[in-house]
Structure 1
Amino acid sequence: MGSLFRSEEMTLCQLFLQSEAAYACVSELGELGLVQFRDLNPDVNAFQRKFVNEVRRCDEMERKLRYLEKEIRRDGIPMLEIPGECPEAPQPREMIDLEATFEKLENELREVNQNAEALKRNYLELTELKHILRKTQVFFDEHEGGAGTTESMTRALISDDQNRNVGHVQLGMRDKQESLEFLPCFVAGVILRERIPAFERMLWRACRGNVFLRQAEIDSPLEDPSSSDQVYKSVFIIFFQGDQLKTRVKKICEGFRATLYPCPEAPADRREMAMGVMTRIEDLNTVLGQTQDHRHRVLVAAAKNIKNWFVKVRKIKAIYHTLNLFNLDVTQKCLIAECWVPALDMETIQLALRRGTERSGSSVPPILNRMETLEDPPTYNRTNKFTSAFQNLIYAYGVATYREVNPAPYTIITFPFLFAVMFGDLGHGALMAAFGFWMCYKEKPLQAKKIDSEIWTIFFGGRYIILLMGLFSMYTGLIYNDIFSKSLNVFGSAWRNNYNKTTLQENAMLQLNPDSLDYVQTPYPFGIDPVWQLAEANKIIFMNAYKMKISIIIGVFHMLFGVCMSLWNHLYFKRRTSVYVEFVPQIVFLVLLFFYMVLLMFIKWTSYGSTPPFYGDPKYVTTSAFCAPSILITFINMMLFKVDANDPSRLMCAENMTMYAGQLGLQKFFVIVALLCVPIMLLGKPYFIMQEQKKRARAGHASIETGAGAGPENGSAGGAPVPAGGHHDEDITEVFIHQAIHTIEYVLGSISHTASYLRLWALSLAHAQLAEVAWNMLLRKGLQSSGFSGGIFLYVVFAGWAAISVSILVLMEGLSAFLHTLRLHWVEFQSKFYAGEGYLFQPFSFEVILDSAGQGEE
């Protein structure tokens, strides 16, 4: 838990591994997931590294497994999940067995698929021929009788041509009646149904109307053997005369990818062919069934182990990728690696290396040595499933500089609280908390489903954030006494109605006066008095003043806490001078101006009341709410050294225009001291650096701020020194420019950041008003309806109100409040102490590799 407040101490180590033990040791480190290896061959091409052949073999095995997985998914066969723990990385000698197994399965499956495709193609051809024989029999039967089949077809050809287009070019013969002495030819085939219209037009134009086409649709779809898609086709028969037209018709059929089949003219021959076709189809059905059964058995057997095979192959591939980062010492027959490791886990890593050595059977133990370096170590914060979501919010802004204060543990409380100030509603907060609780309660089943949706992944990853935001919103909803724009009357009200019924009916805009007996001078025990929900005239005025002041108070305390975090950084990195020339003037500037404004709010709340002890008191005028000064005007006058004594709204007040004795003098002192802090922030650090450089030039010793030591007592971590504020070779001009920018940003940012916290008030007011509009425009009208029709109307209205509440007031307003809260933490809070200029610790971990591979497949 300690690393949550500040990142883990990291150390750079050099690792020596014997060649025969390197694979097993890296495998153990991958299971551990605590070592980040550095690439010692940055200039070597990926195809020139030592273990490139092994990586290629793994790629080939992975390709075969993807092919098997594709076939398994196509047949809808469930793949068994890995029971218990993931299998360990197999030994290198097991790669040969795996390659042989995958090669056998792939060849067998490809052979089965080729045979099945050939059988399906034959089955398709026989099926199409069966339909041709049936349909053409119908065609011939329709024209049989009289002069016989061919004669009737010829007459049909002539009559069809005469009826369709008189203007077309006729046959080359002078009279079509003379063509009865010629026997017509015909071709039969099958074509895709959607190509029939274009096919018919092309035949008509190319043959100049000298063809007779009949077509009939095949009712049942046919399976395409190549793509396994179901396609709809039609049978056609084309009658024509002459070899020239025959050649032309066949070319057109070939162009439209129509399949032609032989069709006997004699009915007896057609019947005999049909019987033979049916017999062959039955035989093919039997063979196809046996082929499909064999294919199914092969895939079922593969589906039982394919998940394990994927894990094993990916682990092998990851190990060899990691080994490619090592240097090879030919003389010593060992591999040399450099890696970042957490200092606290050195013993665990040593044990893992020892296990790997024992597994490989090597007699030479690995050597792990710490190295001295001036390179910035990576940042590593240990997290769990609860804290990881908040840590990711911080990483989205920037990874912390090594050993810098981590804002995540404080964000766990401040983030949902600031969100709840903007989203404060007991009802909407309960809906959000219920959704977050459901995701947390069903965590494991939902993870097992592996839902492929980016939006769902974001929601599920932030389930604990959503739960806390909902719970905090319920708390602030109780403070605001707001539940779906209504209030809870738990403790009664401190206001009494002194008007009679007639006065209330005639004056809709009456206000209760706190100076009279309307208010019993007893504050509400918890939250806001429920009577304010009935105050149509001045409810917004009261809530505006209340929430605006609360927002400023929360914002100032939040910024003060951020500045105090910078002190923790200065002390840890031993930047003592920065404490005096940066932290002290910053905290003084913020306290004397903005924290003083907060104190004025509390003074105003306690010094001015609705009614004094008795009206004859001479302090009545100065302590009444009428004479209460505006905090904003007082603050502006304070900055301008001005006394607003001519304010016409306060002419009836006493001569003392201040809230307490000596206020004006104290305010002038505060402003002067705050202004003096600005040149200290601007010039203090550059002046110190110049003095440091002069002393170093004279004496030649190290910086008096950072010290020369780099051991653990000076903030180092196992050979990796903590970055401290040394300025050995900095140009003093750049220091002045940098410090000027930093000072201007802080001074102006103090004003803009304080005003930025007013978004807490603005979004809270907007959320409350939207909820009230939804209630008044929808549900209120439904509740006022009566009778049977009123019940139906209420049912419909409630559905609309519930949909608007969930979609707009919970989802959209919740997203808006979330983004504003994120900005308040990133800009207003973290800018006071968080640099975020580090880089993340990315250890070699099988768990991370397998998770990323699984997400890539989805």
Structure 2
Amino acid sequence: MGELFRSEEMTLAQLFLQSEAAYCCVSELGELGMVQFRDLNPDVNVFQRKFVNEVRRCEEMDRKLKICQPTQSHWLSLRFVAGVISRERIPTFERMLWRVCRGNVFLRQAEIEDPLEDPATGDQVHKSVFIIFFQGDQLKNRVKKICEGFRASLYPCPETPQERKEMAAGVNTRIDDLQMVLNQTEDHRQRVLQAAAKTMRVWFIKVRKMKAIYHTLNLCNIDVTQKCLIAEVWCPVSDLDSIQFALRRGTERSGSTVPSILNRMTTKQTPPTFNKTNKFTSGFQNIVDAYGIGNYREINPAPYTIITFPFLFAVMFGDMGHGVLMTCAALYLVIRESRILSQKTDNEMFNMVFAGRYIILLMGIFSVYTGVIYNDCFSKSLNMFGSGWSVRPMFETLNENKVLQLDPAVPGVFNGPYPLGIDPIWNIATNKLTFLNSFKMKMSVILGVIHMMFGVSLSLFNHLYFKKPLNIFLGFIPEIVFMASLFGYLIILVFYKWTAYDAFTSKDAPSLLIAFINMCLFNYGDVTNKPLYRGQMGIQIVLVLIALACVPCMLIVKTMVLRRQHLWKNRHLVSSGMAVGLSVDVVPIKRALILEYIPDAHLLSLQFDFGDVAVHQAIHTIEYCLGCISNTASYLRLWALSLAHAQLSEVLWTMVMHLGLSSRSGGGFFGLSIIFAAFAMLTVCILLIMEGLSAFLHALRLHWVEFQNKFYTGQGFKFVPFSFESILEGRFDE
């Protein structure tokens, strides 16, 4: 567990790249996508860097290629407007178009030889005809507004080639002599454009890669000889061989005879956090990263979240029918993921659902499992093994008063528990809600305490890995003992009550909630709530005293030990300084002088603020102790949302589907089809989407607040490697 489920071990490395091989080496590293470059020129303006001209040329080519970039429908067609404008306004008109449209329009204009008569004034004016090519509705609106501002007259022009030919045939006869030349030119241009269209996507990718490479090269330093580039990168230790091979491959591509060098550097800077993922685990890692990027080499909650997140969701959502529908929807996305990925869409909602397809798949599977436990399928129970209650007395009761209340204390009625899940007879009992309330409330507390204790246990592995024994003895042990003494004992009482009291004596069982409150208040004179077992008072007093003793261990003892460690470290460094020739007055000396003589003086803090440390420890202790209570209560949302989902499903069945099945009108199959369509639509919209989203958000909160805060700091920064895949992904529709 020391190395399991941790972020990748990272190292800071220095690259020495020959100038002629730098481009190819960085290109290979981009294809690999395993190094994160550091900016070694933070004080240099972006317009003063060495490769700024290359970046500008790439941006200009990128701008030109955007006009003909590929889209979902293979290619976008160019659109245009045509009209006439006063000849003297042409230069200003052209500049305004270029600036407002950022160079994404193409203007062609020609002077009209004969002057035209102004219909308003009757004067003879000289005008020019123009045509403006552009792409998209946004540019169309801008072009039209500019034309209106310059008082240009726009004329409708057909867009199809056939209509344009018909109009051209009716123009002046002088164009007829040039028609053959124009047709040949058009054919030639079409062939050239078709040939270029086949490689347009390749050009676009190459330009984007070149631009990214030159941006990265601008992060490097150049030695005095101008023949070597020096870069610093963060990279995973496990991928060093792959990075070396990429550098060697880039050097060979460039034809350079001088190899590129990679040296590991020793640094005290905190490395970025890198967790390797695949298409299955990436969704769960995103859930964890949304809370905060983990500290370097901290335990990663994502692998545990793969199981706990869909399970807690299913506890709130549990229904066999709804779980099957959710599983089928997720399976469709999983099976057709290759085709869906090839057909990218701009629908953000669909893209978000598709990215979490494996999360939804597990949530659906777990919901089927909990639905079996609850014996709930579209609010109906399935009688698979026969009821554990005597059926004949049940029907006699229903025939007499139409009300059925199940009471296991009645002799000859209850024969034993149902083999799997909830007995289906409870579905028609009027005290069903009372029974499920007790069952699901206790189940929620059990699951919540186990989940929290597991989170506290994971903090032990962090303390062991980072070699912090003080946090183990005065942090982890008091925390786990405090929680186990109070809430772990509460779980034991729940199981003890289930086993010690059978169906016939359950009414006489004492209340666990009142017993737990009396335990914390040392109130043992309550005659209304008798003890569960002999010697209960003594054991509970000892457990509460143990829990209370853990509080000063975290609050006071740890603070005093930290202060003592600081004083001991100061004395040790002072004595080390005297051994190397420093005077006795070493403490008042400036920190720079201490660092010069004592290598470990970076650990020395000349002042130890006891008040700050005490306040910080007090906040942590109070937060943990009160959090154990509030977090346990927070898990009751498992009980509340589970009942809410079941009741809402039952209401939907009663008010919609039940009416259609019990109707005796002549509508027959047609009426039932309409009712079933309404029931299906409401089931999907309300019970699957709305209720599913609600359960998802509550499960998210349980993991972020109640589980992860026990061991996960989440204050690191993410490893962002230089990768062509991430640069090009989703950028073709910009």
TM-score (normalizing by structure 1): 0.71
> Is 1:674 aligned to residue 547 of structure 2?
yes
Aligned to 1:688: 561
Deviates more, 1:728-737 or 1:466-475: 728-737
Larger Rg: 1
Q: How far apart, CA to CA, are the structure 2 residues paired with 1:454 and 1:701?
A: 61
- Answer yes or no: is the 8 Å Cα contact 2:2–2:465 preserved in 1: no
Aligned to 1:603: 496
1:297: how far off? Answer: 3.3
- 1:178-218 per-residue CA deviation (whole Å, 9 max, x = no partner) reads xxxxxxxxx999xxxxxxxxxxxxx9xx9xxxxxxxxxxxx
Q: Secondary structure at the match of 2:539?
A: helix
Change (3 A) 1:447 1:532: same
Return the letter of the residue paired with 1:16.
F
Q: How far apart, CA to CA, are the structure 2 residues paired with 1:364 and 1:258?
A: 63
Return the letter of the residue paired with 2:248.
R
Within 5 A, what are the aligned runs for 1:304-453? 304-331=198-225, 333-453=227-347
Return the letter of the residue paired with 2:494.
M
Within 5 A, what are the aligned runs for 1:586-735? 586-611=479-504, 624-647=505-528, 657-700=530-573, 731-735=609-613
Q: How far apart, CA to CA, are the structure 2 residues paired with 1:566 and 1:726?
A: 27
Return the letter of the residue paired with 2:24.
A
1:521: how far off? Answer: 3.0
Change (3 A) 1:523 1:501: closer
1:571: how far off? Answer: 0.5
Aligned to 2:56: 56
Q: How far apart, CA to CA, are the structure 1 residues paired with 2:272 and 2:612?
A: 27
Aligned to 1:765: 643
- 1:310-358 per-residue CA deviation (whole Å, 9 max, x = no partner) reads 1111111111111100000023721111111111111221111111111
Change (3 A) 1:488 1:322: same
Within 5 A, what are the aligned runs for 1:179-578? 226=132, 293-331=187-225, 333-499=227-393, 504-535=398-429, 537-578=430-471
Change (3 A) 1:469 1:280: farther
Q: How far apart, CA to CA, are the structure 2 residues paired with 1:580 and 1:728?
A: 27
Change (3 A) 1:586 1:258: closer
Aligned to 1:263: none
Change (3 A) 1:627 1:66: same
How many corresponding residue pairs?
650
Aligned to 1:161: none
Return the letter of the residue paired with 1:605.
W
Q: Secondary structure at the match of 1:336?
A: strand
Return the letter of the residue paired with 1:437.
L
1:532: how far off? Answer: 0.9
Change (3 A) 1:52 1:607: same
Return the letter of the residue paired with 1:75.
S
Q: How far apart, CA to CA, are the structure 2 residues paired with 1:732 and 1:39?
A: 39
Aligned to 1:134: none
Change (3 A) 1:818 1:402: same
Q: Secondary structure at the match of 1:700?
A: helix
- 1:410-458 per-residue CA deviation (whole Å, 9 max, x = no partner) reads 0000000000000000011111111111111001000000011110111
Within 5 A, what are the aligned runs for 1:731-810? 731-786=609-664, 788-810=666-688
1:698: how far off? Answer: 2.2
Q: How far apart, CA to CA, are the structure 2 residues paired with 1:751 and 1:276?
A: 88
Change (3 A) 1:258 1:338: closer
Change (3 A) 1:292 1:525: farther
Q: How far apart, CA to CA, are the structure 2 residues paired with 1:603 and 1:469?
A: 31
Q: How far apart, CA to CA, are the structure 1 residues paired with 2:29 and 2:134?
A: 46
Aligned to 1:192: none
Aligned to 2:22: 22
Q: How far apart, CA to CA, are the structure 2 residues paired with 1:513 and 1:75?
A: 76
- Answer yes or no: is the 8 Å Cα contact 2:69–2:204 preserved in 1: no
Q: How far apart, CA to CA, are the structure 2 residues paired with 1:17 and 1:227?
A: 45
TM-score (normalizing by structure 2): 0.82
- 1:716-753 per-residue CA deviation (whole Å, 9 max, x = no partner) reads xxxxxxxx999886522211111111111100000000
Aligned to 1:88: none
Change (3 A) 1:387 1:727: farther
Return the letter of the residue paired with 1:41.
N
1:379: how far off? Answer: 0.4
- 1:158-195 per-residue CA deviation (whole Å, 9 max, x = no partner) reads xxxxxxxxxxxxxxxxxxxxxxxxxxxxx999xxxxxx
Change (3 A) 1:691 1:788: same
1:11: how far off? Answer: 0.8
Aligned to 1:271: none
1:694: how far off? Answer: 1.6
> Is 1:821 aligned to residue 702 of structure 2?
no
- Answer yes or no: is the 8 Å Cα contact 1:4–1:409 preserved in 2: no
Change (3 A) 1:551 1:291: farther
Aligned to 2:708: 830
- Answer yes or no: is the 8 Å Cα contact 1:575–1:725 preserved in 2: no
Q: Secondary structure at the match of 1:695?
A: helix
Q: How far apart, CA to CA, are the structure 2 residues paired with 1:255 and 1:366?
A: 62
Q: Secondary structure at the match of 1:11?
A: strand
- 1:109-159 per-residue CA deviation (whole Å, 9 max, x = no partner) reads 999x84xx879x99xx9xxx9xxxxxxxxxxxxxxxxxxxxxxxxxxxxxx
